[in-house]
Amino acid sequence: MLLKIIVSLTVVLSIPVGLLIGALVQNDLPLLDPPGFKKRLAVYFKTNIAETTENSIFPELRPRSYTEAIQKLDEAIQQTVSALGWDIIETDTTEHSLHALVTTPLWKYKDDITIRLTPQTNNATSVYVRSQSRTGKGDLGTNTRHVMDFYQALEKQLQYKKSG
């Protein structure tokens, strides 16, 4: 009888653990990069926001700068967001900002993405990104993955525009 209880508990507990591990694997995060595995897991389990800031402890969450004209960067961002399959909710070409909605594939959670451009003094423009889940306390790194996917797709879009 005790063995059946132990086996049942093991099975029951392995399901949520498997789902957590599966989500972390699916998000394909740089878990071993600075500031380290333990710090990253703590953040991924406790927060549902990822945003770029100048002094982020996560290198992938620092804003990136581009030398394209701000209007062309605005266009490239809209094309990038559309190519990612995110829904554009609102754009403000005066403020150079965009609000998009991402629906996660498995659980269909809704995440809000805000992208903002800030001109710099060196003829470059910084691109700030904020991704926040509408529900939950921890996102298992999903919002960080959104930021990483956006920058990767934007840079691909800009490279294509430069060579095309």
pLDDT of residue 47: 95
Q: Which residues pair with 67 in a beta bridge?
A: none
Find tokens 């403000």 and name the residue: 92
Res. 78: pLDDT tops 50:
yes
Domain of 57, in residue numbers = 2-163
Composition of the chain by helix, strand, coil, percent to 5: 45, 25, 30
Please report how many Cα atoms fall inside a 13 Å half-sphere around the Cα of residue 12, on the Cβ side.
6
pTM > 0.85: yes
CATH of the domain at 90: 3.30.530.50
Separation of alpha carbons 5 and 10, rounded Å: 8
Separation of alpha carbons 102 and 71, rounded Å: 24
Instruction: Enumerate residues 6+ apart whose C-beta is below 8 A from 79.
Output: 157
Query: CA-CA-CA-CA torsion for 115, 92, 162, 29, nearest 10 degrees?
Result: 10
> Directed axis angle between helix 2-27 and helix 142-163, to 10°?
30
pLDDT of residue 164: 46
Q: How many domains does the chain have?
A: 1
Res. 155: pLDDT tops 60:
yes
Task: Tell me: cis bond preceding 119? Omega within 30 of 0 counts.
Answer: no
Separation of alpha carbons 39 and 37, rounded Å: 6
Give the Cβ contact number of residue 81 at 10 Å. Answer: 24
Res. 93: pLDDT tops 80:
yes
